[in-house]
Structure 1
Amino acid sequence: MKNLIIISCIAFFQFCNAQNVFLTKVEKTSDNKDQTLFKIQDEVKKAEYLGEIEVQGYSKDDAAVFSSVYKKAKEIGANAFSLKPFETIDGSTQPFNPSNYRLNLYFISREKLLNQTGYIYLFASSDKEQKISINKKDLILPHRSFFILKPKHEEVYVISTKKLLGSTIKLQPRSNDGNQYFQMSSTKIKSDDSGRGGLNLKSGDIIGLEKSFAEFLSIIYQEVKQSN
């Protein structure tokens, strides 16, 4: 009986922390071979509306959630998405809820996409805040947040995770560069599973992100504004 209660509690916990992705509306489909999935905003009026996805439940595994969103989008030939906020009774927009949100799906031809801004997007992890340094100026990114660095032409930017064995990158964006996307993760110390005892030290990382996944994160993460 005790084991049954424990199993039931575990199952309930997993259910509460599961995230499900549903294709809730299909207006039409598009037959194309585009493998990308872009975030669009102003381009919505030029795009062909295809359907809607709803995400229910909370998960820290953003890559797995995006994989499910991507597969659902490609079922109807979508190559673009935008956030569809929920509304309150009085018609105002509800704050974003990472446990339940909707995405509109579209097809848009590449020539209708607006030009890239050449910005640098820096994302924290899904579960821990990250202290970083940009040209020796410190910035704290809360978990599930991101910062947009708007570089000056030809200026060199040194970005570091500021941790023991942390990573450092040096960037010098050019005028014709597209956006660049990176995720920052802290140094992690965990127990050694080899049987010899001790600790394993994992270096902090700055990981380059694929554009489609990064633009999805920019929807579900909160932007951090730099204080003056």
Structure 2
Amino acid sequence: MNVIATLNSESEEPPILIGAHYDTVPGSPGADDNASGVAATLECARILAKSQSNRRVIFVAFDAEEMQPPVEGLHGSTAFVDELDPELRPSAAIILETIGFSSTTLKQKLPSSFRFLFRRAYNALKQQNFKANSLLVLSKRDSSELSRSLEQTASQTDINLPVLPLEVPWWMPLVRNLRRSDHAPFWKAGIPAVMISDTANFRNPNYHRSSDTADTIDLELVAKATHTIVAAIENSGI
């Protein structure tokens, strides 16, 4: 069951959506995957409800994102998109997926092909000395403007969040690693969407394990992600 709330529902402009899945895999407390994303979604809702922004925003906690073999995942977000009222079709969706793990001892890992396929993101990571303290922003062509707005906002001195801008080129097939979270049904429906992530199993050794507990979460990283989204909505008009 998805949990949905709308801010400024009286507005006639297309809404922006902020969402995160609330389920986890069996045997894992799911602190990073994905209580961190849900916490940021709730905090965005709390702050924006008190702000002067008139932006219509839909907040969604998606169910059944995780794959439970032999059953595929993304059920909650797929159902949400399939049943979407055309009048509530968002102009864009921001999906928060495992955003709470950083490390001062581990280095950021990536697939071997990453440096050749995503040069801008690789160069950004190289400039960061492969530190495991950034958040990836995954986008494709129709959501690149949203991605760059979030990236620019994150670089502000009062936020100072390192970002890995993973922009999928138009010619690249959307292989499974690019469709692993709730942004994928929005992409399929032609709705611009980005996924924000700490890169999950490419960084967090607790991914999908019983050790994914609250004491492993970098609260400052979650706060910076929240601040970035709120500031982008309030100041950039995304």
Compare the two structures and name the one with the higher strand fraction. Answer: 1
Structure showing greater radius of gyration is 1
**TM value normalised by structure 1:** 0.30
Compare the two structures and name the one with the higher helix fraction. Answer: 2
- Which structure has more relative contact order (CA 8 Å, sep 6+)? It is 2
**TM value normalised by structure 2:** 0.29
